Amino acid sequence: MTTSPHLKNTWDFLNQIKRKHDSELKTEGSHSSFLEQAYIRAEGQRNAMLMENNGEDDRTTLEQWEGSPLDAFLGLIRTGGYPPPELILLLAEAFEYYFETRGAVPLEHIFFGREIPKAGNESARRKNHRIFEMFNHWTESNLRNEAKLSQVQLAEKLIVVAKKYKLVESDFVEDPESFIRRWRRWKKADK
C-alpha cells in the first residue's frame, strides 16, 4: 500500500475503531453493544474453542492475516469465520467516506492507497505477486529435481501456463528474461 490521506484500510485505523467500539460497549443499548451481541451469538462458541485450544481466537489474530484489515475480513469469510464488529465498522466507515466524498476519492485510494507508477493498482500488483510466488515455487521445486531446467526455461513454461489459464493479462510479458528481471525486482522488494 502506498500512503494516501484517504486510506482507511489500515491496522492503525482498525485499532482506533476498536477503541471507540470498546468505549461504546459500556453504554447499554448502543449500536456497538448490539453489534457485539450479534458477534458473540455468531462466533462465541467457535472463539471459545479457539481460545481454549490455541490461546488465541479470530479476533486476537486479525493482524496475522497477510496484508490489511480487508484481507483479514475476506480471509475470515473464506474460512467460515465471522468478522468482529470493529472489522465490519471499518469497512462501513470506508464506504461511508467514499459516499461522503461523492466519488471524488477513488475506492482504490481508500482501501489500498495510491497507485504505484508502472506497477498499477492493487489488483494488478496482487496478480503479479501470485505469478511471482508461483515462479518461486517452481524454481525451488526445480532445485530438488534431478532434471534441472534453467530459469529461462522455467519462465518460458510459466508464461505459457499463466496465459493459457488466464492468470495474467494477454499483454503480460512474453520475454522470459524480462520476466526474470521483474521477478528478481519483486523478490528484492518483497524482503
pLDDT, tens digit (0-9, with 9 covering 90-100), for 40-68: 888 888 777 877 888 877 777 778 777 88
For 66-107, give the DSSP string.
SS-HHHHHHHHHHTT----HHHHHHHHHHHHHHHHTTTSS-H
Query: Which has more pLDDT, 28 or 169?
Result: 28
Residue 72 and residue 90: Cα distance in Å, rounded?
12
Confidence of residue 21 (pLDDT cuts 50, 70, 90): very high
Is 1 a residue whose pLDDT tops 60? no
Mean predicted confidence (pLDDT) in 173-184? 87
Question: Band of the pLDDT at 123, cuts 50, 70, 90?
Answer: low
Whole-number pLDDT of residue 116: 67
Does the pLDDT value for residue 148 go beyond 90? no
- Residue 68: count other Cβ atoms within 10 Å of its Cβ: 23
pLDDT at 169: 75
Bridge partners (DSSP) of residue 2 are: 113
User: pLDDT tens-digit profile of 26-43?
Assistant: 888 888 989 888 888 888
3-state secondary structure of 114: coil
